[in-house]
Structure 1
Amino acid sequence: MRRYLQQKTNLIGSRLQGRITANVELVRGLAATIATDSDIDQERFTALANSLDNARSDIQSFAVAPDLVVSMVHPLEGNEAVLGLDYRTNEAQQAMALQARDTKETIFAGPVDLVQGGRGFIARYPIFNRLPNGREQFWGLLAAVIDADTLLKLSGIVDNTEVEFALVGRDGRGFAGNQFFGDAKILENDPVSNFIDFGSGQWILYAIPKGGWATTSKNVWFIRAVGLCIFFLVVVPIYGIGRLYQERGVHLADNLANQQKLAHMTKRLEMALQTSKIGVWEFDPALEKTHWDERMKELHGLPLHEDVTDQFWRDRLHPDDRDRVIEEIRVAVENGTLFKSQFRIRPAGGKELTIRAVGSLLVSASGERRLIGVNWDISEDVAREHELEEARAESERRYLALEQAQVKIRESALHDFLTGLPNRRYLDDLLHRRNGDGPCIDDQTCLIKIDLDGFKEVNDNYGHAAGDAILVEVASLLRRVISEEEFTARVGGDEFIILCQTDEELERPVALCGEVLEALQTPIEFNGRKCRIGASIGIALSVDAKNDPDKLLSNADLALYQSKQTGKGRYSFFSEPLVQKARQQRRLADDVLRGIENREFIAFYQGQYSAKTHELVGAEALARWQHPERGLVSPFEFVETAEALGVMGAIDAQILDHVIATKKRFDQQGFVVPRLSVNVSAKRLGDKDLIGNLRKLDINPESLTFELVESTFLDRSDAQVAANIRQIRDMGIDIEIDDFGTAYASIVSLTHLLPNRLKIDRELVLPIIEREDQRELVHSIIHIGRTLGIGSVAEGVESMEHAEILRIMGVDILQGFAFCRPLSAEDFYRHHHTSTGSNAWRVAAT
């Protein structure tokens, strides 16, 4: 009886082990999928979970907890209470959740009381993202709830009519865990046992016959015989013989009933194993004999009527796995350890399969040893993991390509494309030590700011090519005069700076300024012409600025302004009286506020044209200030002051009103301008009333485009800005990033926000005629946009040669002096409707 009960317990244990392992593997596969899609949402998660519904499992529900807080569940119905569960503060589940994160292993817990009601086992699998440097970063947990009643019932433990079972090892802790199923008296009644190891935990299954072990007193028949002799000496022997025959019949009937019950129980176990598709095997190391059930034979392609042989099994193993698997079995038998392996087999007449096997050594009371275990096919899981790895590798390759493009853009953003010198952004980072540790300036630091005199005249008289040559020559000059420890940069159109160290005598800055001024007295030749320029220089000492980088730059500007005012071609040191001149800026600020009040800000228009056909496809509205005394004022003169005052939003609003009125007038004149682009400042974009005001405007939103500066569009930290951008797009208004390539653009942010077009800054476009590296850079930006479904607009198209190169590169829209300068609304209309025909401008442009 005990041997029979042990065999039955082993089969039940294998069945239970197989079901748990299969459930855990499902969780592992789903977690691997989520790891490749860290931005997964509820809809995507539901789709993944639904794809597992046809898989055989006891899983009741799934929950995903990014950063240990549950945000997604499946199915949602009935599990709403789980949403928002914070494993970090939930005392009942905190320890297990943190253990899964810290050990990076699947943690099997339970049974536990579920938040959504009922009891179940929970398998928690940690999810890690792989960073580009190869390191892993914790993302969150995937938890699967396994219905406790279903698991135990389908394993044959619950409602068993012949055997009573008990399970020990709560939370998968094996012998160290508490009993969580069955009567506690079972453990006291000399039970048989089976050790269950499912990888992420262990249980011990105990069993005794229903009602306990049958006990019979050793002397009962002797006493009964003596009694019969004493009390029935006169009873004829025939009566005793009759009684013996009667009892023999009863025992035969009981034996027959037990055999029928055993056959019924065996049939039920066979049906359960067949349904689970898990093969059960048993290996006798003493006799070197192996027994397979039908599922094992099906997996290996062995006819059901044949017995397995050691040679048949060895032949089915993949040659690359054969020696390893045989050695693992030998170690498990010799050391009595758990056998756990994964290997490939080649079934007779079938395709290659990947098998996972788990087994444990069973030693009977008589010392007989058997290695009993289960096998199941995981080929689909392995294939799925391989596909996920391929997808992850492809994703990483694309990410690296985007990163390389971003590095090129960032390098360009920190250096002047024309001279190769560091630019203003580089200088700001250096002064504020954003790219290093410790202060960059001290009491001996001196900042020299140089502004070229006569540079505008060279540009106007000889063209931008001559101006560019002047800038390159000045940059070369500055490189020659400074020492290795000193620093120079181009910080504006014709502005340069030098950083050096000085003493109380100020010999070094004076010497540098003298060399620069003297060298610039010699004309610079360009295409056989002598271009004469000079320089005005402002010098500021850090000690006067109290080592404040911004104050140092401001003082240098004031000193430079003093040089300009006193005749140019000289240098001036900052002094406190120069501060008085800053009052002029305050007067400008007052004028700006008055101009807003009097609605003096209007729009000029510069056309935008199809790169393929040169047809007018839109126009950009550019802000101008109609000053009552100074006339038309460029935005370069008032934007900085307006931004400092925080009134750019009000100016934007006036420009937008002007655009709406102009659009109506154009429509009445039959002049079709498909789109009008308006610049929107960061201040206005963060206005909570922006969307409400836009909805009140009398204009078709689809005819509007909002141009956002790159840093504003890509900054998603401001919730109001992000919300306004989303609603602007919902209204049908296009969004463009202005001056793209001049700020710290985030490729990842582009993929999230997806504007309609990128406007490539003119500083990147201008040099593409002469420089191959600049053409490659611009082409990279166009390619990135096209990859993400984003169009492109090229600014600064100053020649038809620019236009042709950009068309070949694949740019969509052109804007620049080659087609149209910024014009008033009336002049813009006349420019496109001359007396010789509405398309005459296009003929002239070619």
Structure 2
Amino acid sequence: MTRTLLRSGLKPRVVYLIIVLLLVVGGILTEYVVGMAKQRAAQIRSMEATALLASMRAQLETEVNSVLYLSRSLTTFVSAYPDSSPERWYELSREIIGDAPLVRNIGLAPDNVMQFVYPLEGNEAVIGLDYRTNKEQWPAVEEAIISGKMKLAGPVNLIQGGQGVIARAPIHYRHGTARHYWGLASIVLDFDTLMNKSGIKETASGFEIAIRGRDGTGETGDIFFGDRAVFVDPVAKMQIFFPGGVWVIAANPIHGINASVIWMRLTAWGLLAVLAGLIMLMYRLYRLAHHQSNTDSLTGEANRRSLMHRAEHLAQLYPRSGIGFALLFIDLNHFKAVNDTHGHHMGDLLLIAAARRLRDNCRATDTLARNGGDEFILLQPGVGLEDVRRLAAKLEQLMANPFEIAGLELSISASVGYAVFPNESNDCETVISLADSRMYARKRKKKALEQRGRQDDIEEVVVVE
């Protein structure tokens, strides 16, 4: 992709912009996929949480309702026999607790004063409790009396210690046609044992569990089990129904709904970042390789390949632009003597200085290239035959001026050959060949003149016909 972008002639900032746009598109697609995965994960977690809560609710309702069903036998008996003795209450209570290990105690409170509790051992403190004077429990008791139905209270802190869920049922009896209030029957379930037998824990199967609805008040009730934060945005919640009360149970993933999705997003963005880095690296490496393949490593100017490419490009544009170009081949004379006398390092410094001098006397639109060894090529768009003759003479005079390098004065000269497109040929290869041959002809002529000692004539001869 980067190779195509470079060949298209786009500037680096445009290429970078395209890469950024690709990353933006990739980011949008990533977020879309992550969003779908998030939605799917939420659905799965919601189904898992719903199934977990349904199981807990069923077990909890079963445990509580089975006990409350057994307790009805006591209230029915007292209602039928309001004058029955504590001995009979004892026998019935023993039967109920024997079949219901969740029951912590059973109590009877004639006229709202606790007078009987089974088992008595460990519950002695509750005997004599007057509900009317107990600020914590009286509201629930009063509600049960007013409604005439069983009411669920709790979890509450029990006088005898620990926490319990209390189901209270008002007992009424008939005397003739009149219906009279006898008192209150209560059955206390051990809260911790109830939670354990129902399989309810604060964390279960990767979820946090919480329950609200103290005293059976449902959604508006206090949270009495688990963390309050679970109810902020639960993935699942449902109601638990008891006689005379409702609890609400909710669940949230321990690590949040988006825990796995966050890792997916981080992975996706990480891959995009790596991809972006690789693309940028490939682009930079290609630009470096492209620059090196088109640049002379010693002088920093263009190389022959780069110059030829531009010449061919200008030749292709000529039918539309009408702009031709001149090619000047420049060969340095006496350069080998500098290498032999002062070493190749000094020769390299001389080449760099010669390239700098040529570049300083070129236009910004010109292309200067090193052709290898001690040869340079200058490409000048929009230059005709008359102008190029004068330029050739100027370059020879320019290179004849001594060079000051590393404290030494080095003198060389130059031989320049040229050709103009399309004045002399409309074929790019022919123009190159013609300029090259003229340069070598000029070099031979200057050498011959030097050998005959006619250095003054060299200054007057400009080109070879």
TM-score, with structure 1 as normaliser: 0.27
- The structure with the largest helix share of the pair is 2
**Bigger radius of gyration among the two:** 2
